[in-house]
Amino acid sequence: MSDIHTTAIQLRFNDVDLMGHVYNGKYQEFFDLARLNYFEHVLGNLISWEETGLVIASVKVDYIEPIYLKDEIEVRTHISSLGEKSLEMTQQLFKAGGTEPTALCTTVLVCYHMQHKKSELIPNEWRTKIETYEPGLTLN
């Protein structure tokens, strides 16, 4: 992998709660946006969300440090393991110039056929592109 995939996030006034920091529910929106950007970058148009796509089976978020309206933030995304029908994605949210993440997200996604409404094997084309982008990837 040449670089960790990075998505800059623009904070807006409505992201902030009465305590002055970014509302915890907004973090998931940031991770969702970065996840889609990752797949567009790595897989291009191979995912057809009307036919075969990915659905979330599990999400875990650890909130480490608050984020405030004036902070500049980015999400760093990579796939940490790749199985036959599922993958695990790890995302870290950083403040600009920060060396430690302010939040961590681990998501398990399952390859899913939308019309048949069942899980299926991750297509070989996807696997090849992911493995090329993530050469240190753990294969399950």
pLDDT, tens only, 64-117: 999 999 999 999 999 999 999 999 999 999 999 899 999 999 999 999 998 899
Label residue 3 by pLDDT band (50, 70, 90): low
Task: Using CB atoms within 10 Å of the CB of residue 116, give its burial: 0 to 12 exposed, 13 to 18 middle, 19+ buried.
Answer: exposed
| Residue 81 in tokens | 């393991």
Q: What is the CATH number assigned to the segment(s) 5-139?
A: 3.10.129.10
| Residue 50 in tokens | 């009307």
Label residue 140 by pLDDT band (50, 70, 90): confident
User: How many residues belong to the chain?
Assistant: 140
| Residue 100 in tokens | 């430690």
DSSP reduced 3-state for 58: strand
Task: Judge whether 134 and 94 are in contact, CB under 8 Å.
Answer: no
Label residue 139 by pLDDT band (50, 70, 90): confident
> Mean of the pLDDT values across residues 1-20?
86
Rounded to two decimals, what is the model's pTM?
0.91
Q: In whole angstroms, what is the distance from residue 90 CA to residue 58 CA?
A: 12
Q: What per-residue confidence (pLDDT) applies to 1?
A: 42
Indicate the domain borders of the chain.
5-139
Axis-axis angle for helices 24-43, 124-133 (nearest 10): 100
pLDDT, tens only, 17-75: 998 899 999 999 999 999 999 999 999 888 877 888 999 999 999 999 999 999 999 99
DSSP state of 21: B
Q: In whole angstroms, what is the distance from residue 103 CA to residue 29 CA?
A: 13
